[in-house]
């Protein structure tokens, strides 16, 4: 199968490219410099020239707070750029995999969101990503919309790397404790996407690693596994963090349709986190247990969400 990966070089796109290549597919990677998805004619020329069987779209404007001050840019990339890919993919009879987000939900609930639960985005980022989903459904018959969350992986910046860096720079860290989600390893997600497109079961899917946590408890686990037991953590609220964009307080995604289609659930996020830290050379395979972490007065406010990565 001929696959075009848009948004190449990013954390998820890099793993998708690797996994599809390992499975014998012919992959063409397109960064934003190779293809500006906001230009319909450029998309038309490039995709007609490449004639892919599958277009994978990880291209997006993901700076959640910046989206609040630059809504036109957010919609141009996340909505209209997605529309352009959907239109041309459909015209050349290619399937489209589009990556979306937990931010399409309001986050006021207390149980995992299923694929067809009512959406209610609270931020410009979430609204622009939801409108991108609508464009895919409207313009491309053969599509997979994959909502995911709280990504971490080997390529590019992510919450795990950032917190480990901050732990070396600060004795105390303050981390948000009233947002809950499911950390998701991009390699596991890429494998699941490769499995998904082997079937013509088009539609909307939630794909995340199993389990859930808050950013604070997630940080506790990261520090524990990395053996950074001297770092003191203080839980804070989203209100204390005072970011421009509203974050969903609860955005755990139920991988319901994935399971109904007969796929095995993705492994728990903690197992994936251990593998990631081993790959980074930060822990040994036999060092999975650690002592608890104390709390203290913080001097550093920090929190990341899926869209910030």
Give CB contacts under 8 A, 24+ apart, made by 70-79: 71/124, 71/128, 74/124, 74/125, 74/128, 75/128, 75/131, 76/38, 77/37, 77/38, 77/128, 78/125, 78/128, 78/129, 78/131, 78/132, 79/128, 79/131, 79/132, 79/135
Q: Same domain, yes or no, for 171 and 75?
A: no
Q: Tell me how far apart the alpha carbons of residues 222 and 124 are, in angstroms, rounded to a whole number.
A: 30
Residue 77 lies in a domain: yes
Same domain, 127 and 35: yes
Please give the Cα distance from 102 to 99 (Å, whole number).
11
* Mean of pLDDT over the chain: 92
- Specify if 256 maps to a domain: no
Q: Is the dihedral of CA 30, 34, 40, 42 positive or negative?
A: negative
Same domain, 46 and 188: yes
One domain for residues 27 and 116? yes
Whether 260 maps to a domain, the answer reads no
- Residue pLDDT, tens place only, 143-158: 999 999 999 999 988 9
For residues 95 and 132, membership in a common domain is answered with yes
Residue 284 has what pLDDT?
A: 64
The span from the CA of 193 to the CA of 196, in Å, is 5
Is the distance from CB of 164 to CB of 222 less than 8 angstroms? yes
Residues, the chain, total?
Answer: 309
Instruction: Clarify whether residues 91 and 193 are in a common domain.
Output: yes
Please state which of the ranges 18-32, 166-180, 279-293 shows the lowest mean pLDDT.
Answer: 279-293
Mark whether 27 and 143 lie in a shared domain.
Answer: yes
| CATH code for position 44 | 3.40.50.720
| 144 DSSP assignment | E
Co-location of 46 and 164 in the same domain:
no
User: Using alpha carbons only, how large is the chain's radius of gyration in Å?
Assistant: 19
- Return the percentage of the chain with pLDDT > 70, whole number: 92
**pLDDT, tens only, 186-196:** 999 999 999 99
49 is in which domain, residue-wise? 2-152+182-206
Picking from 85, 102, 28, 120, the residue whose alpha carbon sits closest to that of residue 307 is 102
Does 299 reside within a domain? yes
Q: How far, in Å, CA of 74 to CA of 200, rounded?
A: 31
Considering only CA atoms, which of 11, 80, 61 is closest in space to residue 276? 11
Whether residue 98 is contained in a domain is answered as yes
Is 8 exposed, middle or buried, given 0-12, 13-18 or 19+ CB atoms closer than 10 A? buried
Instruction: Say if 119 falls within a structural domain.
Output: yes
Q: Is the pLDDT of residue 295 over 70?
A: no
Find the CATH number of the domain harbouring 233: 3.90.25.10
Structure-token match 């994936």, residue found: 272
Active site residue ranges:
125
**Paired tokens of 196:** 């998904």
Give the C-alpha separation, 119 to 162, whole Å.
Answer: 30
Same-domain check for residues 52 and 201: yes
Which one has a higher pLDDT value, 63 or 298?
63
Instruction: Clarify whether residues 41 and 129 are in a common domain.
Output: yes
pLDDT of 301 > 70? The answer is no
Buried b (16+ CB within 10 A) or exposed e, 212-248: bbbbbebbbbbbbbbebeebbbbbbebeebebebbbb
């Amino acid at each position: 199968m001929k696959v075009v990966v848009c948004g190449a070089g990013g954390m998820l796109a890099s793993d998708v490219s690797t996994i599809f290549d390992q499975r014998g597919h012919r992959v063409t990677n397109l960064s934003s410099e190779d293809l500006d998805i906001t230009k319909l004619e450029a998309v038309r020329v490039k995709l007609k020239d490449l004639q892919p069987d599958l277009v994978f779209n990880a291209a997006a404007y993901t700076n959640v707070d910046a989206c609040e001050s630059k809504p036109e840019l957010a919609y141009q990339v996340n909505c209209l750029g997605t529309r352009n890919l959907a239109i041309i993919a459909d015209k050349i009879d290619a399937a489209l995999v589009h990556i979306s987000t937990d931010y399409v939900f309001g986050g006021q609930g207390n149980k995992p969101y299923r694929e067809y639960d009512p959406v209610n985005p609270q931020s410009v980022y979430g609204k622009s990503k939801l409108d991108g989903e609508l464009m895919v459904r409207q313009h491309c018959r053969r599509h997979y919309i994959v909502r995911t969350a709280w990504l971490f992986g080997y390529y590019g910046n992510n919450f795990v790397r950032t917190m480990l860096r901050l732990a070396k720079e600060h004795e105390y860290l303050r981390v948000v404790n009233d947002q809950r989600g499911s950390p998701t390893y991009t390699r596991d997600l890429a494998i699941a996407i490769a499995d998904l497109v082997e079937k013509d079961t088009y539609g909307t899917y939630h794909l995340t690693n199993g389990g859930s946590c808050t950013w604070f408890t997630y940080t506790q686990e990261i520090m524990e596994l990395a053996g950074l037991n001297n770092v003191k953590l203080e839980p804070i609220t989203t209100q204390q963090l005072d970011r421009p964009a509203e974050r969903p307080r609860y955005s755990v995604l139920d991988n319901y349709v994935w399971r109904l289609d007969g796929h095995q659930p993705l492994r728990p996020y903690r197992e994936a986190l251990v593998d990631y830290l081993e790959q980074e050379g930060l822990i040994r395979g036999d060092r999975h247990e650690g002592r608890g972490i104390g709390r203290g007065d913080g001097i550093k406010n920090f929190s990341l969400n899926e869209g910030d990565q």
